[in-house]
A and B are shown apart, each in its own frame.
Chain A
Amino acid sequence: MTDHELIWRIAGGSGDGIASTSQNFAKALMRAGLHVFTHRHYPSRIRGGHTYTEVRVSADPVKSRGDGYNFLLALGDSFARNPSEGAYYGNEEIKPLSENLDELNEGGVIVYDSGLLDASEIEDFDERVEENDWHVYDIDLRTIAREHGREVMRNTAGVAVTCAIADIEPDVIKSLMSDAMPDKILEPNLTVFDDAYEMVQEEYDVEAPDVSAPTGEHDEEQVLLSGSDAIAYGAIDEGCRFIAGYPMTPWTEVFTIMTQNLPELGGISEQVEDEIAAAALAIGASHAGVKAMSGSSGGGFSLMSEPLGLAEITETPLVLVEAMRAGPSTGMPTKPEQSDLEHVLYTSQGDSHRIVFAPGNAAEAYYQTRKAFQIAYEYQIPSIVLYDQKLGGELTNVPASVFDEEPNADLGSVLTEAELEDAPHDDSGKYQRFQHDTENGVSPRSLPGQKGGRYLATGNEHMPAGHISESPENRVAQMNRRMQKVDNIRAELDADGEFNTVHGDEDADLGLITFGSQQGTVEEAADVLNEKGHSVKVLGVSEMMPFPKQQVADFLDSVDEALVVEMTASAQFRGLISKELGGYGDQMSSLLKYNGNPFEPADIVEGFETALLEGEELPDNRTKFVPKVGE
């Protein structure tokens, strides 16, 4: 982290354009040469309800949300419910201002729309402003917007005010508006922008800004995208041209991106009746020779449990993605959590044999989705990309060159008709698609419609040509072969060795271990700790099954103690490490967070200093230790 960062939070009501305004803001600053990272907070509601997006802006690379924030733009909530006495939701109108004060850093700026918000409704507002040295700008953004456009353009007015106060060149924003907005609304928006910008310049002293945006320069071209974008693009570059799904937050993003792009690629997207069908369609398409995927979030993935097992035993290549949110059951639909880890690893009857990746950032999400397809089709096994609402939705800049890769539409271990002629068949002409003894556990498949390739795929245990059999000898041979594939995949991943990363001081004697989307935040926390004079390193694990035992064991062997950081309430990831390594229990403790908000680096710094260095309990209930300190 640098000392000089803008962490801008735009707050308003759901449906007020907060997401698109913040996306444009982030992209404009990326174009201006800065590194950006966004964090979304929104309710499961279409219209109204407090929502905000944070845009962290820095001259140096950023890989997490920041600690608190320093610039609030509070707009009204157009769809707020009437304040009712006794109602649990209280006064929704004022929330864009009132709900965001706790996390605003000292010395921060508050801009609020005085056309819609009345700060006097907030108890102790003036006292808190004084206490925290906040700089308050009450500006009637609504009226400015109305004068030259429509009321909804108050977002534009707010961005203009931000530029004037935080010393951002207006053209940075205006040129992006010109690209992003249709002509009809562009002109009035530009006028609203100029009015608001000039008004601030005239009426306020902004010569020495309280909080200003940094300046910077990229050494190569950047693109702004989310984990969901990266997953979809990884699939497309692997020749995936079939997706089936059913809407569910937050997986819907990947489904939507694929669905919007597939027609122009001559691909097929199917929105179907439920997630059982979705997974089954992906299996059917893949079985017939098209690279296919499906996915869901926890609830829908539960329905995919049985088809997932079918893909395992029929050795049908299948790629699923699972976007975690807070559970159990409907839980908190728009809030991130990592608590579907065990669900995804083990769901479906029988001994699971599948691949599970949990990418740590957007670039990794692209690479690992590609790897998931390669393994699924080469080894004829289900691959799952496990991510969450956080990684799926947060936008960050990634070098465009990450995507400058060749496409790969290889179907993997499939025979051609010519190859089938020499392949083994049974007496009725069925191809022996599930042969016992193969070099790497993989028995190549044929595809329906190929001459000489017919066989039976079945969820029952089966003989080499697919016939159902309960012969003990055949059972053991088939089971061993299928399980052997997982070992061979582990060996291949070890040879690649690119996704489980160690960050920080190599000789450190204290460690942080995390998985999936928390990686960037934990790494930033380690940087802070090392700057403070501690000696810490981080292991970010992105391969969940087959588990990278050796790498994790080596890391644990190299440190005295390790704190395992994850967004679960029952320390699932630490449990996985213990199960896979069969030890190290005394060496690990957990820092858990499951309140619906992702870790901030400061949570981890505080947790680390408390748990491993000072031995005291945490000051509040945002995060939790397991076991308790001292036990």
Chain B
Amino acid sequence: MSAFSAIGEETEQDQNEFTPGLEPQPTWCPGCGDFGVLKALKGAAAELGLSPDEMMVTTGIGCSGKLNSYFNSYGFHTIHGRSLPIARAAKLANPGLTVVAAGGDGDGYGIGGNHFMHTARENHDITYIVFNNEIFGLTKGQTSPTSPMGHKSKTQPHGSAKTPLRPLSMSLNAGASYVARTAAVNPNQAKDIIVEAIQHDGFSHVDFLTQCPTWNKDARQYVPYIDINDSDDYEFDNTDRSEASEMMFETENALHEGTVLTGRYYVDEDRPSYQQEKQRIGEMPEEPLAERYFDDSYEWERTFDNFLDKHK
């Protein structure tokens, strides 16, 4: 019998199950795009029949990091940029968990960029939602890795001399097997994309455009948006790597020219997840490791029997 009975349990969930009684109302500013992520995640979790006790949501630091306070599940609000390494270890330790990591554009594409690149490369079976508002919000409006060139702020008084980072292209090149962009103003698409991302076996990256009405007033509210998968103007095959790459490049350019493109950019259902690869080479057990510590019949190996001969 599993020591983790919440995992895989058949449940009917209302999305209100994911609203914590202690802090039901978020402290995000009125009109903040982060509300859109919270709503989409609650809707997706309910639609998938997940229970709060089988989900582990890890976050970094920033407005996005408050997601843990407003979403009822196991949560780990980590340190700036480090939600991914903690998330992927939890998944390796207990693969039955549904693991979602989240962070902002500074958190994920700046300070945590190295982890983002390597988690994508390894194709861990987790979902990563990046609240991309093109600015540092909680520290009051500094230029971020996705701020457009020329962006003025107290830390870039003459306008940023840097071109913005390309989150979708970077994700594809690093090795993510599911890459999408959605926007807070598009709640139905957002929920559907998060459902797909959680279902996907492998690293799924959702770049979630979240408008910041307080510190990024100059930026558009990400409307009107276009769903590239529905629009006749954008014909491409999102299972083809090079076509996906071109579409991403166009999308990243278009954002700074006033056109908001969203949708599923790359989907690779064939690539095995990291866990599968690791099991294939014999470096990960078939049974969840976390269960073993509750298995009274397990005979724990010891040095004296297993390793001393080569030292004699």
CB distance from B122 to the nearest CB of A (A): 9
| Inter-subunit contact A449/B76 (CB<8 Å) | no
Select the residue from B3, B68, B115, B301 with max chain A CB neighbours within 10 A: B301
| Inter-subunit contact A237/B302 (CB<8 Å) | yes
Per-residue CB proximity of A79-99 to B under 8 Å, as 1/0? 000000000000000000000
Task: For B307, list chain A residues within 8 Å (CB).
Answer: 233, 236, 261
| Inter-subunit contact A284/B89 (CB<8 Å) | yes
B73 beta carbon closer than 8 Å to chain A: yes
Question: Once the chains are docked, how many angstroms separate the CA of A277 from the CA of B88?
Answer: 10
| Inter-subunit contact B72/A263 (CB<8 Å) | no
| Inter-subunit contact A404/B304 (CB<8 Å) | yes
Interface residue from B22, B56, B282 paired with A426 (Cβ < 8 Å)? B22
Per-residue CB proximity of B276-288 to A under 8 Å, as 1/0? 0010001111010
Q: Which of B77-85, B190-198, B265-273 contacts A (4 or more CB under 8 A)?
A: B77-85
Interface residue from B20, B56, B118, B304 paired with A277 (Cβ < 8 Å)? B118
CB distance from A377 to the nearest CB of B (A): 10
Task: For A490, list chain B residues within 8 Å (CB).
Answer: none
| Inter-subunit contact A274/B114 (CB<8 Å) | yes
Task: For A182, list chain B residues within 8 Å (CB).
Answer: none
CB distance from A32 to the nearest CB of B (A): 13
Interface residue from A280, A409, A416 paired with B300 (Cβ < 8 Å)? A409
Question: Once the chains are docked, how many angstroms separate the CA of A269 from the CA of B53?
Answer: 27
Question: Once the chains are docked, how many angstroms separate the CA of A273 from the CA of B84?
Answer: 12
Select the residue from A263, A292, A406 with max chain B CB neighbours within 10 A: A263
Query: Smallest CB-CB separation from A269: which chain B residue?
Result: B283
Q: A residues 282-328 with Cβ under 8 Å of B?
A: 282-285, 287-292, 306-307, 309-310, 314
| Inter-subunit contact B4/A276 (CB<8 Å) | no
Question: Once the chains are docked, how many angstroms separate the CA of A242 from the CA of B311?
Answer: 24
| Inter-subunit contact B79/A450 (CB<8 Å) | no
Per-residue CB proximity of B83-115 to A under 8 Å, as 1/0? 001111110111011000000000000000011
Question: Once the chains are docked, how many angstroms separate the CA of A464 from the CA of B282?
Answer: 41
Q: A residues 212-244 with Cβ under 8 Å of B?
A: 221-225, 229, 233, 236-237, 239, 241-242, 244
Q: How large is the interface on B (under 10, 10 to 19, 20 to 34, 35 or more residues)?
A: 35 or more
Query: Smallest CB-CB separation from A224: which chain B residue?
Result: B311
B312 beta carbon closer than 8 Å to chain A: yes
| Inter-subunit contact A454/B311 (CB<8 Å) | no
Question: Once the chains are docked, how many angstroms separate the CA of A263 from the CA of B5?
Answer: 27
Task: For B293, list chain A residues within 8 Å (CB).
Answer: 239, 289-291, 409, 411
Interface residue from A237, A272, A283 paired with B303 (Cβ < 8 Å)? A237
Task: For A428, list chain B residues within 8 Å (CB).
Answer: 19-22, 72
| Inter-subunit contact A453/B53 (CB<8 Å) | yes
Interface residue from A223, A241, A272, A417 paired with B292 (Cβ < 8 Å)? A241
| Inter-subunit contact A239/B300 (CB<8 Å) | yes
CB distance from B173 to the nearest CB of A (A): 16
| Inter-subunit contact B302/A459 (CB<8 Å) | no
Given contacts A265-B306, A451-B4, A459-B78, 9 further A-B contacts (CB under 8 A): A222-B312, A242-B93, A268-B278, A270-B89, A283-B89, A430-B22, A449-B56, A457-B75, A457-B77
A-B contact pairs, 8 of them (CB 8 A): A242-B89, A242-B92, A268-B93, A287-B76, A287-B90, A409-B300, A449-B4, A465-B22
Q: Chain B: residues with CB nearer than 8 A to chain A?
A: 3-7, 9, 19-23, 52-54, 56, 58, 61, 68-69, 72-79, 82, 85-90, 92-94, 96-97, 114-115, 117-118, 278, 282-285, 287, 289-290, 292-294, 298, 300-304, 306-308, 311-312
